[in-house]
Structure 1
Amino acid sequence: MTHKLTAIGFDADDTLWQNEQFFRLTQERFAELLSDFTDPDHLHERLLEAERRNVGHYGFGIKGFVLSMIETAIEVTDEKVPARVIHELMEAGKEMLAHPIHLLPGAEDTVRQLAESHRILLITKGDLLDQERKLAQSGLGDHFDGVEIVSHKTSDQYIRIFDYHGDGATSAMMVGNSMKSDVVPALEAGAWGVYVPHDLTWELEHAPKPDKHPRFRDLETLSALPDLLQQIES
């Protein structure tokens, strides 16, 4: 029996366009600024601890990242961090917020093609203004039937979104590069979860691969998604 999916959700950062590489470049700059106080590996560990600690306060995105860098700089220098370093970290954050969008291979063609036959949603988390800016610059905005910018991606959120924009989670699919945010909670909601890996993925987005789940699939590239949909719906 053919079961056509009515809604397909796409993650944004590192699924449709580059994102994590700009965080990594800024972290390298962060390490250079604090090279007189600590080594890069220790600094990375302390920054990751701060991000994990702060995500509940600041949410996901560049602003929370910058605040975590500043907090880490204060901690690793025993409150002796020079004001110029704080200033440079704030400037680095502003540069990230103004960086142009670089679409990933296959993103535009895949979204454009599937928008002709399915209800297409953008489901992303992070800073509202920054995500709206990136979507506007991407040129993909007109293809989406709905845009959801949430603080956290949970199974309850996916149930709510797919109920509102489609025919429920069982008739929906979520596609993204984060096993923890895009795939696992979508599967828990009853949707299909499709993992499209990116070379760079934030450590806090890692989770075990649910290989045995009947609705889990992984693809090497986003361009393979239309063929996968055809297989599932045939």
Structure 2
Amino acid sequence: MARITTIALDADDTLWQNEQFFRLTQQRFAELLADYTDAPDLNDRLIASVAGNLQHYGFGAKGFTLSMVETALDVTNHRVPGTVIAEILAAGRELLTFEVETLPYVDQALEQLHRDHRLILVTKGDLLDQERKLAASGLAEYFSAIEIVSDKNQDTYARIFAQHTDGAERTVMVGNSLRSDILPALAAGSYAVYVPHDLTWSYEHADEPIGQPRYSKIAHIGALPEAVAGLAAQS
């Protein structure tokens, strides 16, 4: 087990629920526009707007809210009333106040892994919101370093591994997104453990790296200690 010394973990939908609140907000958005548009692809247009705006607003509730406003204006040819825009903004603000709900087995897994490994948090999104959720989760004490980044790619992981770990080859990245947590971390030279979540945003989907010896997939985070031990045994 000495070879793997650091475990880096994603936050949203890996340690605590997140996407479910965005889904609820999408439903609220559709309800607010029901009297002003019958566009059958309203949800698709919203998601396309969110994805297209990532380069401008980044990930998180604020960018999602601005994309809802943009989509509302677009699908109604700018005829949506100001009162509806105000309610959309209010729905977006609610995304910043939902109670943090940690996923099953998280506390037990972190408690066990913390005994023999350095744990670091690597999450993307709005700085203030991610700090709020981490504080409310009660998990901050487990982490020796916290990185809140605008995006996750190979260069991001290379920098983080160089700064906070004994090297990528001694680090495992854990998360629910193949696109953001798994593939770029593997490309940076680390191990990776994929923990699927039922509501992972379609933007984060990608093909699994089947046949990659530094990759493992588990059903829930409670199986993480065993998965880490398995990867270490193969090294």
Q: Structure 1 length as normaliser, TM-score? A: 0.96
Aligned equivalent of 1:216 = 215
- Amino acid aligned to 2:19: E
Aligned equivalent of 1:201 = 200
Q: How far did 1:41 drift?
A: 4.5
For residues 35-54 of structure 1, the C-alpha deviation after alignment (integer angstroms, 9 at most, x for no partner) is 12334741111111111110
Question: Identity rate of aligned residues, in percent?
Answer: 54
User: Which stretch shifts more, 70-79 or 201-210?
Assistant: 201-210
- Amino acid aligned to 2:15: L
- Amino acid aligned to 1:146: A
The size of the alignment, in residue pairs, is 233
Aligned equivalent of 2:83 = 84
Aligned equivalent of 1:170 = 169
Q: How far did 1:230 drift?
A: 1.8
Pairing 1:1-234 to 2, within 5 Å after superposition: 3-39=2-38, 41-234=40-233
For residues 17-56 of structure 1, the C-alpha deviation after alignment (integer angstroms, 9 at most, x for no partner) is 0000000000001111111233474111111111111000
What 5-or-longer segments of structure 1 have no aligned partner?
A: none
Q: How far did 1:231 drift?
A: 2.0
2: distance between equivalents of 1:202 and 1:137? 23
Cα 1:40–1:176 shift into 2, 3 Å:
farther
2: distance between equivalents of 1:209 and 1:41? 32
1: distance between equivalents of 2:46 and 2:100? 25
2: distance between equivalents of 1:198 and 1:108? 17
For residues 193-231 of structure 1, the C-alpha deviation after alignment (integer angstroms, 9 at most, x for no partner) is 111000101111111111121211110010001111222
Are the equivalent residues in 2 in contact too, given 1:7–1:162 (CA < 8 A)? Answer: no
Runs of 4+, deviation exceeding 6 Å = none
Are the equivalent residues in 1 in contact too, given 2:15–2:103 (CA < 8 A)? Answer: yes
Are the equivalent residues in 2 in contact too, given 1:31–1:39 (CA < 8 A)? Answer: no
Q: How far did 1:99 drift?
A: 1.1
- Amino acid aligned to 1:110: A
RMSD (Å) for aligned C-alpha atoms? 1.2
What 5-or-longer segments of structure 2 have no aligned partner?
A: none
For 2:213, what is the secondary structure of its paired residue?
coil
1: distance between equivalents of 2:81 and 2:150? 33
2: distance between equivalents of 1:105 and 1:41? 36
For 1:15, what is the secondary structure of its paired residue?
coil
Are the equivalent residues in 2 in contact too, given 1:123–1:147 (CA < 8 A)? Answer: yes
Cα 1:53–1:190 shift into 2, 3 Å:
same
- Amino acid aligned to 1:212: G
Q: How far did 1:3 drift?
A: 4.9
Q: How far did 1:4 drift?
A: 2.2
1: distance between equivalents of 2:106 and 2:171? 19
- Amino acid aligned to 1:173: V
Are the equivalent residues in 2 in contact too, given 1:31–1:40 (CA < 8 A)? Answer: no
